[in-house]
Amino acid sequence: MLSEFELIARYFTRPSAPDSRTALGVGDDCALLTPAPGMQLAVSTDMLVAGRHFFPEVDPLTLGHKCLAVNLSDLAAMGAHPIAFTLALALPEAREEWLAPFAQGMLTLADEHGCELVGGDTTKGPLTISITVFGEIPFNQALRRDAAKAGDDIWVSGTLGDARLALAAYRQELVLDAEAHQKAALRMHQPYPRLALGMALRGIAHAAIDISDGLAGDLGHILHRSGVGGQLDVDALPAGAVLQQQAPDLRRRFALSGGDDYELCFTAPAARRKQVQAAADHAATAVTRIGQIEAHSGLRLVTGDGQPLALTPTSFDHFTS
């Protein structure tokens, strides 16, 4: 059995990249970060608990990836550039067959984005993974939730609902053939944070949020914080490749309220449509215009032909679900 310090040394300590913003990494009482001049630090924490956010027996390689991906997604939603993260880990036991792939999944994604693991804490306990990410962003350019304005377009990146569809199949709420289930499950287990898009939208988008609990609920946070309302065209929502094959009612519901998509929902002035499209092209990420911000509060759903739709979107809440 590995000791705590062997475990940290073996799996979570790596040499610093020479040009990095991380002046001191794992091994001291604190890490030292040096943001570039004129930059603000963007900081965010997400915690994943076994049995709550993931199945305890899930593949540790994809779990390692997902734990960091959901944190990086918060930086993406702010328009921040990732620089470093810390990892607080509670483990029932120090098993190398679990730790090696877990670290590999996490650190491979970290390396793709130049985001260095600079510290953390390790303890015995029920499997819980808490990550704090640090990003940088030029002063006053963050894409905040409270910045949407009446008249803005509402946009979403990528596609929605396949992660929720995979969950429904795991829960046996519906049946998918093996190939379809595997494809949808990839969206659930291996989200890719939209970092390039978030950064490309600086100075173009007004407000942004990443979709973790479902589009309707997460867009609701933007509306509430910005003191505005909005209209969504439910037939414009880009359904995931597998969800597209499902009945229209399910397609609408899962695209609207399914969680775990980790796409970006953002608003931008209608006069900047070309700039939004150019930013999306630059980031090689598809974006779709799905509605408008309006002065009148509340979220109104309409169908493609402009008819109001009576459907109450649900949003995931840990204390009521």
- Tell whether the torsion through CA atoms of 9, 14, 16 and 22 is positive or negative: negative
Q: Which of 4, 28, 121, 177 touches Mg ion by CB under 5 A?
A: 121
28 binds Mg ion (CB under 5 A): no
Q: What are phi and psi of 174, to 5 degrees?
A: -155, 170
Run of H or E including 148: none
Give 241-248's long-range contacts (Cβ < 8 A, gap of 24+): 241/159, 241/162, 241/183, 242/162, 242/165, 242/166, 242/176, 242/180, 242/183, 242/184, 243/159, 243/160, 243/161, 243/162, 243/165, 243/184, 245/180, 246/165
117 binds ligand ADP (CB under 6 A): yes
Report whether 157 contacts 194 (CB < 8 A): yes
Q: Which is nearer to Mg ion, 13 or 314 (CB)?
A: 13
Q: Which of 21, 22, 26, 193 touches ligand ADP by CB under 6 A?
A: 26
CB 17 to Mg ion: min, Å: 24
Out of ligand ADP, Mg ion, none, what residue 85 binds, judged by CB under 5 to 8 A for its kind, is none
**Nearest alpha-carbon partner for 133 in 218, 203, 212, 31:** 31
Run of H or E including 114: none
Which one of 97-105, 116-124, 147-155, 194-202 is the stretch in contact with Mg ion (CB under 5 A)? 116-124
- Tell whether the torsion through CA atoms of 299, 237, 196 and 87 is positive or negative: positive
Q: Which is nearer to Mg ion, 7 or 154 (CB)?
A: 7
Contact string 89-108 vs ligand ADP (x = CB under 6 A):
x-------------------
Q: Which letter, b or e, does each residue of 169-180 get, where b requires 16 or more Cβ atoms within 10 Å of its Cβ?
A: beeeeeebeeeb
Q: Which of 60, 64, 82, 119 touches ligand ADP by CB under 6 A?
A: 119
CB 112 to ligand ADP: min, Å: 18
CB 123 to ligand ADP: min, Å: 8
Q: Which letter, b or e, does each residue of 75-85 get, where b requires 16 or more Cβ atoms within 10 Å of its Cβ?
A: bbbbbbbbbbb
CB 189 to ligand ADP: min, Å: 22
Q: Which of 87, 106, 168, 207 touches ligand ADP by CB under 6 A?
A: 87
CB 107 to ligand ADP: min, Å: 10
Q: Which of 35, 120, 138, 151 touches ligand ADP by CB under 6 A?
A: 120
Helix (H, G, I), strand (E, B) or coil at 49: strand
35 binds ligand ADP (CB under 6 A): no
CB 131 to ligand ADP: min, Å: 10
Binding site for ligand ADP (CB under 6 A): 8, 12, 26-29, 87, 89, 117, 119-122
Binding site for Mg ion (CB under 5 A): 121
